[in-house]
A and B are shown apart, each in its own frame.
Chain A
Amino acid sequence: MTGTPRAPWPLAAAGLVIAFLALLPLLYLVIRAFGAEASAAAFLLRPRTAGIVTGTVGLALLVGAGTVGLGVPVAWLTSRTDIPGRRTWAVLTAIPLAIPSYVVGFAFLAFFGPRGTLQSILAPLGVDRMPSIGGLLGAALVLTLVSYPYVSLATRAALLRTDPAIEESAQLLGDRGLSVFRRVTLPALVPAIAAGALLAILYALSDFGAVSLLQFDSLSRAIYLQYGASFDRSLAAVLALILVVLTLTLTWGERRLRSRAASYSSRSRRPPTVVVLGRWRWPAVAFLTVVSGLALVLPVGTIAWWLVRGVNQGEPLRLVVDVAMGSFVMGGVAAFAAVGLASIVALISARHRSRLSGFVETATYAGYALPGIVVALAIVFLATRTLPFAYQTLGLLVVAYAVRFTPQAIGSIRSGLEQAGRGIEEAGRSLGDGPVGAFFRLTLPALRPAIVAGGALVFLTVVKELPLALLLAPIGFETLATEIWDAASSGFYARAAGPAALLLVISVGTVAALLRAEERAR
């Protein structure tokens, strides 16, 4: 690595402030949890606490097993077989990742739940009660359906990178068919599969929307209930800390597995061999149809069904537009701020590599790895104690978003900076620009696509975000996410359908746009 100059002090100071802000929730949580020392130990030993932790672990295990069970076959079918419509299936099976969990949770509730779509359809047959969709199994099902693409995408990438010569070697050394798959293909995929499954589990652990709509007491819902119901909010901090330890451990594990998966991949020149499915092709198509049916068609169909019903019953769509405008403005401001913060971090890490840059980067990413409900809770604590005037203002919410989602914009801006290089800036200097002038006149315009991409990502994430909006938004201010959550948890499915439909369009549209950009880049 060539030496890079030290960051000028205003830049370094700004970086440190961002790092401090990103770590603040975590720091405060630790202080708060240990502040509750007297009751914390007893609280931890309470059977209910143990039940919540066991339930959360159970959810993690079910989602892990479910996403592997769906994701690996999906990956294999869409990358290594002659299944009809392979490319289309690859796209369709990836889309659920973009749909917020609470939208799918709402759809399942509105379909299977009491007074839901299914019951309305079955009512003429005399069915007047539905079995509950909620609880552990319902939550695990919904979270599996939205997070299995983590496994299928990671596995698919690994399968496409596998050198066909590896399987051929196994065959020449005496293995055939299934035994090649079992002894060579599959073991070589294990790190990629496991990394994907850990991401899915992390998603499930951090998820707040689906578990709370389906009323399953995982840690994140328990944190919310504890925060709302109890006098001693420190106990919520204790639960939050347990969740933080769990997620940070898994994040660390995922990083290690990902680097192992990278060392397993080969630089193949030949495309992977394609397995002819023969008479298995229709069962395979049926499998993908069921997966996409549950993860995509059922939510879309149910939401459409309730939307039409709501409009027919005079549900005012005007409200949806108002809520959407509020969400978009908030998302736009947050994205703008996040891009500014991300540019500072990216600039430090790309141009001034040092211990300081390493620290600033790690700190921002650590804040990002925390579950949303935990960050929301910590900010509520902090604000009520130290900044009571800021509590429940839009300003605080936007700052929280900007700090939390900065890492989403860092990646693209940093690679943009690395691509632009110092060359153009130095050329500008040699033609008479000062250092600051050269940056603003030359480097910044060159970075525009990267900045727009990073900002768009933050914008979309903020628009879909639930727990921070729920805990921090001013009373009376609804976002698309809180509107769905409020309406759905009170059983007003038709009212939730409008914002849910809008979020579906945004999510699916994003994936489509990304895929088209990728196609064009190729």
Chain B
Amino acid sequence: MTDSDGALPPELALRTWGLRRQFGDALAVDGLELDVRPGEMLTVLGPSGCGKTTVLRLIAGLDTPDAGTIEIGGRIVSGPGCAVPPERRRVGMVFQEVALFPHLSVRENIGYGVRRAPDRDARVRELLELVDLPGAGLRMPHELSGGMQQRVAVARALAPRPDVVLLDEPFSSLDAALRTQLRVDVREILRAAGAASVFVTHDQDEALTLGDRLAVMVQGRVEQIGTPEAIYGEPATAFVATFVGTANLVPGEYREGVARTRFGTVRLVGPASEGAGRGLILMRPEHLEVDVALDDPSGADTWRVLGRRFTGMRIQYSIASTDGERLWVEAGHAVRRLHVGDPVHLRLREIETVVFPAGGARPEA
């Protein structure tokens, strides 16, 4: 708390490399590399049990890694022969369970980490304004709604001006409408505070809309890191493709940046596109368009509608071919509402996509 040495701002707010943590036989974190730039929000998305929460606890110092290094604000806080205790890491944390101090008022909760600062009262007022609860300072945590409690928790974490704020699925216990609103609010609050943050979630909506960059984590490793658009458009692995957004993986042959599939030819992008061979080609629902099949409802190219889901802007259809293959697709603009069992034809839109070469070879990211 006292080591503000006035050095130049570090290039990275947070960096980890070679981070490893094992619980018994299970490898929760396996050689993890992460970096967060000042003021940036990095979301970490992964299925439950992939080690996301462990990563946050290692960064915060609430758990000790078996190997690897953590650097916060240009200072190594955990590494070979070095372990700065949590209270001196300059890390703020917002927990899934909120974890406000039940016996302290909102004001005292926010002021907890800055109690020795001369400008404590001013800082608390400033933060109450920031989280839009200017009149709630004297109230007790149990008198607040779930959303308000979580905003107080964010303010409390921000009060000591930490180098990085860690958020561990902070909205997962709230209902859907509140969650969407609070997501926007907290993003704004963190942006206004200029704080770097790591936001862990298993909700892909949250991950795609919230972060400046997104890291997809599987089995203790970062599978891919990049902007949400890049991860959706050019996923590095088949797992990322199916975990982030809806994916159809269509077998095909590819050579010199072009792939041939049963639906036609597509141009490829990404590192694997230069090679040649067989592989799975990613086709998002918006890449494939269906039309009503009027002419020959029993032909080999005819698919039938299995189901339908409304995504808010478009309707996506699940369809199946006579040989049992299933796809998620969108309907062409002129198409009337389709019903289950309707025969349809499939058309490939003009797209660029990625290929996952057969044999499980992992393209270098």
Contact = CB atoms under 8 A, between A and B. Distances in A.
Interface in A229-272: 263-270
B97 A187 contact: no
B101 A171 contact: no
A188 B109 CA distance: 13
A173 B108 CA distance: 12
A425 interface: no
A190 B101 CA distance: 13
28 contacts: A163-B99, A165-B95, A165-B96, A165-B99, A166-B100, A166-B101, A166-B102, A168-B95, A169-B95, A169-B156, A171-B85, A172-B60, A172-B87, A172-B91, A172-B92, A173-B112, A173-B160, A174-B1, A175-B87, A176-B85, A187-B104, A188-B103, A263-B102, A263-B140, A266-B97, A266-B98, A266-B99, A268-B97
A184 interface: yes
Identify which of B1, B96, B101 gathers the most chain A CB atoms within 10 Å of its CB.
B101
B266 interface: no
Interface string A153-192: 0000000000101101111111110000000100110100
B38 interface: no
A172 B160 CA distance: 10
Contacts of B91: 172
Given A168-B93, A263-B142, A264-B142, A173 B99 contact: no
B113 interface: yes
B113 A188 contact: no
B142 A170 contact: no
B95 A188 contact: no
A160 to B, nearest CB: 15
A190 B93 CA distance: 26
B86 interface: yes
A163 B103 CA distance: 13
B113 A174 contact: yes
Chain B interface bracket (under 10, 10 to 19, 20 to 34, 35 or more) = 20 to 34
B97 A170 contact: no
Contacts of B92: 172-173
Contacts of A172: 60-62, 86-87, 89, 91-93, 113, 157
Contact of B87 (A165, A171, A266): A171
A171 B86 contact: yes
A172 B87 CA distance: 5
Contacts of A175: 87
Identify which of A174, A188, A190 gathers the most chain B CB atoms within 10 Å of its CB.
A174
B103 A169 contact: no
Contact of B103 (A165, A264, A269): A264
A267 B156 contact: no
Chain A interface bracket (under 10, 10 to 19, 20 to 34, 35 or more) = 20 to 34
Contacts of A169: 93, 95, 99, 101, 156
Contact of B112 (A163, A170, A176, A190): A170
Identify which of B86, B87, B97, B102 gathers the most chain A CB atoms within 10 Å of its CB.
B102
Interface in B33-51: none
Given A166-B99, A175-B87, 18 more contacts: A163-B99, A165-B95, A168-B60, A168-B86, A169-B95, A169-B156, A172-B86, A172-B92, A173-B112, A174-B87, A187-B104, A188-B102, A188-B103, A263-B102, A264-B103, A266-B99, A267-B97, A270-B97
Contact of B102 (A168, A173, A266): A266
Top 9 A-B pairs ranked by shortest CB distance? A173-B113, A165-B99, A264-B102, A165-B95, A263-B142, A187-B103, A166-B99, A171-B86, A174-B87
A174 B60 CA distance: 12
A453 B227 CA distance: 62
Nearest to A176: B87
Contacts of B86: 168, 171-172
Given A175-B87, A176-B87, A170 B101 contact: yes
Given A187-B103, A190-B103, A264-B142, A173 B156 contact: yes
Interface in B61-110: 61-62, 85-89, 91-93, 95-104
A184 B95 contact: no
A174 B142 contact: no
A167 to B, nearest CB: 9
B280 to A, nearest CB: 38
A269 B103 CA distance: 20
Contacts of A163: 95, 97, 99
B99 A171 contact: no
A188 B104 CA distance: 9
A184 B87 contact: no
Contacts of B88: 174
A266 B104 CA distance: 14
Interface string B132-148: 00000000101000000
Nearest to A166: B99
Contacts of A166: 99-102
A268 B99 CA distance: 9
B72 to A, nearest CB: 12
A268 B95 CA distance: 11
